[in-house]
Chains A and B, each alone.
Chain A
Amino acid sequence: MFPTDHERYSADQDPTGPPVPGVPTESELAARYWDRIRLFATRRVNDASLAEDIAQETLRRVIEALRAGRVQNTDAIAGFVFQTAKHVCMHAHRSAGREARAMRRLHDPSDADVVGPDALTHLVSEERRRRVRTALETLSPEDRDLLHAVYFAQLDTAELAAKLGLSPGALRVRKHRAVQRLAAALGARQTDETLSGDRELNE
């Protein structure tokens, strides 16, 4: 059910036919949903490589459905991608994909597992980690430690706010600004606009 290496998407290969006007292109869909699907899938299958296969299969199905006109409301694409990813994930557990991967690893040991218990963090490349560490060093110690406390030491804002003598709301503002500053320091992936509190909330 999963595409082989030869069937994987690339810039000059389109297994699903030419673009259709009004329908997001493959690259647009991949730019928007690739990492979301990988994270979604990794949490379920605990395997970064299998999660990539799931992301590819999901995008392939979504593009096929869009081009076949099976998704009439393009505003609902996010929901359609989510449901497709969920469906593909469920089947991945039962498919031969895992077995095939084990066989590939047997023949190519460099096709390796990730090391460590937290598969989600292995979605972040070592190069990206270096950039993040560099960006974190540009933040104030207060911002840096707050982000560590929230995302790494897993202290929730209510607990942290009480320890710091702040209201939960004030701490949320501090966290939000720290996230903004880190995103700005990282530059490319997040922008102030996408993280801005001025942006209309998705209610």
Chain B
Amino acid sequence: MEPTRITCTRVEEEDLDARYLAGALSEEEAEAFEEHYFGCDRCWAAVQIGLDVRAAAQTGMERRVDPPALAVARGSEPRPAPIAPRRWWPLAIAATVAVLAVGLWQWGGRSPVMPTGDGLRGPADSIHAVASFRGRTLVLSWQGTPSADRYGVRLQKRDATVVVERIVGDTSFAIPRDSLSGVADRERLFWEVRALDALRRTIARSRLVPTEVPASR
């Protein structure tokens, strides 16, 4: 690609928005595209939509059984051969986890969906965590893991939708009820904490700890 001049036509023809978000452009190309979208509302809007879709898919992929690329084959289009995405392994892992998660959910009835990704790498239930309240503040406290550099804390819904996700250095985490949006009073949520090493790899994790959302004022 000629990097010096970017136009909207080139953005469309060469998928610059999607390739930029995927990190697939050279540094020179990426910078030229950035200079373009600073002055172009149309291409900036496409970048925003792409970012939205990527972000939504990342947190929602554990609930999606069929990989998106394969699902493209559905519908009214001529049915193509399955498409192998360039980065097949995250999707393969996600699909496997999603199948396991759905299976657990179906088997366990009221059991929440287990988290995906890093959460499966550490020894399960190797951190003892306790949920409590300080007034209208939800608190999770846990035992420290000697080799942990930080802790990843996640508060999620029964269907594995992430409500809050943070990395902290302490062995407790608190969040006021009023800062939780999109959750109902008395809704049952689930905490999970993971011990992370310096490279942010999970080395231990807790079971899912249930908690109930206090009523709003």
Interface string of B116-152 (1 = CB under 8 A from A): 0100000000000000000000000000000000101
Chain B residues with Cβ under 8 A from A86's Cβ? Answer: 31
B58 to chain A, nearest CB (A): 5
B146 to chain A, nearest CB (A): 18
Closest 7 CB pairs of A and B: A148-B68, A78-B39, A124-B55, A121-B55, A132-B56, A112-B166, A109-B168
Cβ-based interface call for B7 (8 A): yes
What number of A-B contacts does a CB cutoff of 8 Å give?
205
State the CA gap A165–B92 with chains docked (Å): 25
Residue contact B34 to A128, C-beta cutoff 8 Å: no
Given contacts A164-B72, A183-B45, A194-B41, 6 further A-B contacts (CB under 8 A): A40-B34, A106-B169, A148-B71, A179-B46, A194-B45, A201-B42
Q: Beyond A78-B38, A121-B58, is A195–B46 a contact (Cβ under 8 Å)?
A: yes
Residue of B nearest to A116 (CB): B58
Which stretch (B76-84, B100-108, B203-211) binds chain A?
B76-84
Residue of B nearest to A201 (CB): B8
Cβ-based interface call for B1 (8 A): no
Residue contact A149 to B68, C-beta cutoff 8 Å: yes
A171 to chain B, nearest CB (A): 10
B29-78: which residues lie under 8 A (CB-CB) from chain A? 30-31, 34-60, 67-69, 71-72, 74-78
B191 to chain A, nearest CB (A): 14
Q: List 22 A-B contacts (CB under 8 A).
A: A33-B38, A40-B34, A115-B152, A128-B55, A132-B52, A132-B56, A133-B56, A141-B74, A145-B75, A148-B72, A149-B68, A150-B15, A151-B21, A151-B54, A163-B72, A164-B77, A179-B46, A189-B45, A195-B46, A199-B42, A201-B8, A202-B39
Chain A residues with Cβ under 8 A from B57's Cβ? Answer: 148, 151-152
State the CA gap A142–B77 with chains docked (Å): 9
Cβ-based interface call for A73 (8 A): no
Chain B residues with Cβ under 8 A from A71's Cβ? Answer: none
Cβ-based interface call for A36 (8 A): yes
Cβ-based interface call for A93 (8 A): no
Cβ-based interface call for A4 (8 A): no
Q: Identify which of A36, A130, A145, A189 contacts B161 (C-beta below 8 A).
A: A130
Cβ-based interface call for B24 (8 A): yes
Residue contact A195 to B45, C-beta cutoff 8 Å: yes
Residue contact A179 to B49, C-beta cutoff 8 Å: yes
